[in-house]
Amino acid sequence: MVKTICKRLVILNAVFILLMTVYRTIFTVYYSGGLDFSIYLNDLFKAFFLGFRYDFAVIAYINAAVTLSFIVIFFINSKNVFVKFVKTLKYYYMFLFGGVISILCIDFGFYSYFQNHINILIFGVFEDDTKALFSTLAENYPLILVAVGFLSIFLFVFFMTKFILEKNIASFELNRIKIKYKILLSLLLISLNFISARGSFGLFPLGVDNAEVSDNNFINQVSINAIYTLQAALEARSKENRGMDYIAKMGYAGNIDKAFSDYLSLSIQDIPKDNPEKSLIRVTKYNKNIEEIKPNVIVIVMESLGTDLMHYNSPDFNVLGEFKKHLDEDIVFYRFLPGHMGTIGSLESVITNIVRLPLSKYLCQSKYAYNKYFYSGPMPYKNKGYEAIFLYGGNAGWRNVSSYMPNLGFDKIIGEGSMPKDYERNQWGVYDEYLFDRIFNLLGEGGNKKFIYALTTSNHPPYSLPSNYKSTMPLKLSPELEKSITGDMKLSKMRFATYQYSCQKVGEFLTRLKKSKYADNTIVAITGDHNFWSTFTYPVERKLDAMSVPFYLYIPKKLMPARESIDTSICGSHSDIMPTVYGVSLSSTSYCAMGTDLFSRQAGKNTASNDSGLIMNKDFALIYDFASNTQKYYVWNKDKSREIVLTEKTQEHENMLKHYKSAVAIAQYMLKNEKGKIK
């Protein structure tokens, strides 16, 4: 009986391994995005073999309790106990292995959106507007069928386990085995289980940082098991809740002055000892026209306004609508990174004037939500008598922003609840055209000049359009575009339609403003919160396309910077937006910020970064994994200017990494040591 049960357990676990390998195969084929398998055949073999080790380790963890229980019952040597034990296994495996398969399925969907396996962003499901989120899912996906599908997974595991393990079990007889053989068999089973769970004979057990078998990032993604990335996410969240010491992790423990010195390329003697943040103070140049005009400033963060889709715009695929003429007329930085890969993180990155801490809680939902941010985006305008207004198309209570934004210096927080009732809404808030209408009307309310910071909602699942919107602009897919789509085609077409709608409406808003009395006294800055997700798969060489958003600027002629200072080929990120806007809207005004004025002399050497690991300047790029503290080095492709090519490490890469690490250390210092000393 013992021998038979052991054989059946081996068969059952072999089936589990097979199922996980089938999942990995489907994942590879579905998300490969035209990858030439013949070139990477050897790397794919390595990825699948490493994936097998990950899967085997997961199964070994599941089997740990089974092994120990088996050994105890083995020594008891009771047929009745043995039979009961075997019959309980179908419930055990149903919950645990059924759970594993379910997590893999969730990971499959997660990857389609974030181009990465499950990570700390998964917790956003519980921190976002959960009602709107599930409403969105219900709109786009047959949730009842999904629920039935997950239930079927558990039932399948249940009946498969029952079929393999319990067949004729009552008729088996227990063998009499000598105690010494029982001990040897027990030690063997424990050893095999331990080694399998460890996944390695080396000094360290198998972990997510071992998942590198190729210079192709997607192939490396193939090998990883989502259970491991979920575990890493849970560990990161645990460290985050305990308070990760970013200053120490970046190498500046007890030496924050050195971080400021490295970040600013200054001698450490030039960093004020008692108040090092003073070294971040800048003063805008005196400008007679700014003094006279005192322009309104509007900064708009648009949902999913990624740069990549803009490159596909054509007469037949008119995704930009009226926004295109403004993109052609005005200033646009296209080599530009969001601060984060999600909406709220990017919203914070633009307006806090510090870089985002990787793998950290959003500030608005953390202990820092109630800081008084003397260095925040609105403060220089507040100090000049401006009225600062935060405007969100959705619920102002979303992610605690209604409590957080006043601490940044905003006088008014306006959400959909305080907007006119006749504004048409979707699950997330009012449609963009109504938000832009509200922004325009705010310019004429009250006597003060306005600093308006706004966030749109329309280009967000469930991809609905207002009832009064009838587009005549074509969205015909070219063969190239259709071939590159890896997401659901129907949903992708709906995404294109909402992207077009958002671009059309922001274009109409700009046209209206330029024809109005505000044309000569209002500056408008527009960016995206993150790229256009869940439609395309990006190889590592297209990391910039996978992440980039535009930074658009409308500046009246009298306020336009000198032509020689405008170089839109330089790299920038969300933390550079406010310093750039300060430079064209405020005269002789001091501010405290980590970003760079992209019209300044220093901008040509600017290093841009994102908390997901891409760091770049005009000539070089590197991808830095914060969790494992590893990096890869690249240069820009001479033939394809937006693509990167793997290269050897240079001193420039070293300098860029030092710049980023010092920035992270400074950001935590600024949050922990908010003193309000700088006015």
In order, the DSSP letters of 560-622 are: PPPGGG--TTS-EEGGGHHHHHHHHH-SS-EEE-SS--TTSGGGGG--EE-TTSEEE-SSEEE
Selection from 629, 635, 619 nearest residue 664 by Cα: 629
Residue 679 confidence (pLDDT) above 50: no
CB 441 within 8 A of CB 410: no
- Residue at token pair 């052991």: 6
Measured distance CA(304)–CA(302) in Å, rounded:
6
Predicted pLDDT at 178? 72
Give start and end residues of each alpha helix (H) in 243-338.
246-249, 256-264, 288-293, 323-329
- pTM (two decimals): 0.77
Position with higher pLDDT, 580 vs 150: 580
Domains observed in the chain? 2-240 (no CATH), 256-672 (3.40.720.10)
The whole-angstrom separation of Cα 592 and Cα 409 is 14
pLDDT at 128: 55
CA atoms within 13 A on the CB side of 675: 10
Sequence-distant (6+) residues with CB within 8 A of 640 are: none
At 241-297, the pLDDT tens digits run: 567 899 999 999 999 999 999 999 999 999 998 899 999 999 999 999 999 999 999
DSSP state, residue 477: P
Does residue 336 have a pLDDT over 80? yes
DSSP letter at 632 equals E
- Cβ(379)–Cβ(343) below 8 Å: no
Q: How far is 244 from 467, CA to CA, in rounded Å?
A: 48
Listed residue (326, 413, 317, 322) closest to 364, CA to CA: 413
- Binned at pLDDT 50, 70 and 90, residue 135 comes out as low
Kindly report the average pLDDT of the chain as a whole number.
88
Task: Supply 662's token pair.
Answer: 């010092």
Token duo for residue 449: 């000049």
Report the alpha-carbon distance of residue 563 to residue 176 in Å, rounded: 92
Report CA dihedral (399, 402, 407, 410) to the nearest 10 degrees: 130
- 677 pLDDT above the threshold of 50: no
What stretch of H or E contains 28? Answer: helix 2-31
Give residue 243's region: left, alpha or beta (phi > 0; psi -120 to 50).
left
pLDDT in tens, 597-651: 999 988 999 999 999 899 999 999 999 988 888 899 999 999 998 999 999 999 9
Specify whether the CB–CB gap between 414 and 420 falls below 8 A. no
Residue 580: pLDDT above 90?
yes
* Distance separating alpha carbons of residues 335 and 332, to the nearest angstrom: 9
pLDDT digits (tens, 9 = 90+) for 464-520: 899 999 988 999 998 888 888 877 788 888 899 999 999 999 999 999 999 999 999
Contacts of 208 (CB under 8 A, 6+ apart): 224, 228, 229, 232, 627, 628
Q: In this structure, which amino acid lies at residue 422?
A: D
Do residues 50 and 213 lie in contact, with contact meaning Cβ atoms separated by under 8 Å? Answer: yes
CA separation for the pair 87, 162 (Å, rounded): 7
Is the bond preceding 462 in cis, omega lying within 30 degrees of 0?
Answer: yes
User: pLDDT (tens digit, 9 = 90+) per residue, 503-562?
Assistant: 999 999 999 999 999 999 999 999 999 998 778 888 889 999 999 999 999 999 999 999
Element (H, E) at 633: strand 630-636
Report residue 102's pLDDT band, with 50, 70 and 90 as the boundaries.
Answer: very high
Q: Could you give the CA distance from residue 85 to residue 167 in angstroms, rounded to a whole number?
A: 14
**Which tens digit of pLDDT belongs to each residue from 8-32?**
889 999 999 999 999 999 999 888 8
Cα separation, 648 vs 432, whole angstroms: 46
Q: At 676, is the pLDDT very low, low, confident or very high (cuts 50, 70, 90)? A: very low
Query: Distance (Å, rounded) from C-alpha 404 to C-alpha 424?
Result: 27
Q: What percent of the chain lies above the pLDDT cut of 90?
A: 54
- Greater confidence (334 vs 672) lies with 334
Contact at 8 Å (CB) between 303 and 457?
A: yes
CA distance linking residue 577 with residue 552, whole number of Å:
10
DSSP SS3 for 396: coil
Please check whether residue 465 is in contact with residue 496, taking contact to mean a CB–CB distance below 8 angstroms: no
